[in-house]
A and B are shown apart, each in its own frame.
Chain A
Amino acid sequence: MTETNWGLDRVSVSYGGRHALEDVSLALNVGSVVGVAGGDGSGKTTLLRTLLGLASPSSGTVHRPDDDDVGYLPASSGVYPDLTVEENLRFAAGAYGVDGGDYRVARDELLQRTGLEGVSGRLGGNLSGGMRQKLGLAMALVHRPRLLVLDEPSTGIDPVSRRELWRLVSDAARDETAVLMTTTYIDEAGRCDAVCVLDEGDVLLQGPPDGLVGSMGGVVGEASSPPDTPFAWRRGASWRLWSPDGFETPETRLVTPDLQDAVIVAALRRREGGEVAA
Chain B
Amino acid sequence: MWALVLKEFRQVRRDHRTLAMMIVMPLLLLVVFGYAASFDVDEIPTVVVGERASAAEGELPELFQVTESHEGWDRSDAVDHLRNGDAVVAVVTSGQEPRVLVDGTELFSARSALTALSQNPSVPEPEILFNEDLDTSAIMVPAIAGMILIFVGTMITSLGVVRERQSGTLEQLAVMPFKPRDVFVGKVAPYFLVAAIDLVVIIGVGAWLFDVPFEGAAWLLGLGALLFLFVTLGLGVLISSVSENQGQAIQLAIMSLLPQVLLSGMIFPIASMDASIRWISYLLPLTYFTQISRGVMVRGEDIAGLWFPLTMLAVLGLVIFSFAIVRFRHDLMPAKVRRSRRPSAVNVARGAGSAGPQPEEGAR
Contacts and interface: CB of A to CB of B under 8 A. Distances in A.
Nearest to A34: B359
B362 to A, nearest CB: 5
B352 A65 contact: yes
A80 interface: yes
Contacts of B350: 63-66
Contacts of A49: 335
B177 A65 contact: no
B364 A61 contact: no
Contacts of A216: 363
B358 A95 contact: no
B354 A9 contact: no
Contacts of B346: 61
Interface string A196-232: 1000001111111001100110000000000000000
A62 interface: yes
Nearest to A269: B363
Contacts of A149: 175
Interface stretch (A70-78, A111-119, A164-172, A180-188): A70-78
Interface stretch (A20-28, A154-162, A234-242, A246-254): A20-28
B338 A56 contact: yes
A63 B357 contact: yes
A8 B335 CA distance: 16
A11 B359 CA distance: 11
A4 B358 contact: yes
Contacts of A65: 350-353
Given A62-B348, A78-B172, A68 B354 contact: no
A5 B356 contact: yes
A9 B357 contact: yes
Interface string A1-39: 001111111110000000000000111100000000000
A25 B357 CA distance: 6
B171 interface: yes
A37 to B, nearest CB: 14
Contact of B359 (A3, A25, A204, A269): A25
A136 to B, nearest CB: 9
A57 to B, nearest CB: 5
Nearest to B353: A63
Contacts of B347: 11, 56-57, 59-62
B355 to A, nearest CB: 7
A6 B356 contact: yes
Contact of B177 (A11, A27, A67, A207): A67
B349 interface: yes
Output the residue of B174, B335, B363 with the most chain A CB within 10 A. B363
A95 B361 contact: no
Main secondary structure of the interface of A (DSSP, over half): mixed
Nearest to B362: A215
Nearest to A178: B356
A72 B352 contact: no
Nearest to B167: A76
Contacts of A66: 177, 350-351
A7 B334 CA distance: 21
B246 to A, nearest CB: 13
Given A5-B356, A53-B339, A76 B364 contact: no
A70 B357 contact: no
Contacts of B348: 53, 61-62, 64
B168 interface: yes
A80 B168 CA distance: 10
Contact of B174 (A54, A79, A269): A54
B354 A4 contact: yes
A76 B168 contact: yes
Question: Which one of B169, B172, B350, B354 has the highest number of Cβ atoms from chain A below 10 Å of its Cβ?
Answer: B172
A128 B162 CA distance: 24
A127 interface: no
A233 interface: no
Instruction: Name which of A8, A62, A70, A92 has the most chain B CB atoms within 10 A of its CB.
Output: A62
A212 B355 CA distance: 24
A75 B363 CA distance: 28
A22 B128 CA distance: 78
A57 B354 CA distance: 21
A103 interface: no
B336 interface: yes
A41 interface: no
A6 B351 CA distance: 9
Interface in B277-336: 333-336
B364 A5 contact: no
Contacts of A61: 346-349, 357
Interface of B: 167-169, 171-178, 333-336, 338-339, 346-364
Given A53-B348, A67-B177, A78-B172, 16 more contacts: A6-B353, A7-B356, A54-B171, A54-B334, A55-B335, A56-B338, A64-B349, A66-B351, A74-B172, A75-B168, A76-B168, A78-B168, A96-B176, A196-B359, A206-B359, A212-B361
30 contacts: A3-B354, A4-B356, A4-B358, A6-B353, A7-B356, A8-B357, A10-B357, A25-B360, A52-B174, A53-B339, A57-B347, A61-B347, A61-B348, A62-B347, A62-B348, A63-B356, A64-B353, A65-B352, A78-B168, A79-B169, A80-B169, A81-B167, A92-B176, A95-B178, A206-B362, A206-B364, A211-B361, A215-B362, A216-B363, A269-B363
Interface of A: 3-11, 25-28, 49, 52-57, 59-68, 70, 72, 74-81, 92, 95-97, 149, 196, 202-208, 211-212, 215-216, 266, 269
Give the 9 A-B CB pairs with smallest separation, nearest first: A76-B168, A207-B361, A9-B357, A4-B356, A67-B177, A25-B359, A78-B172, A25-B357, A72-B175
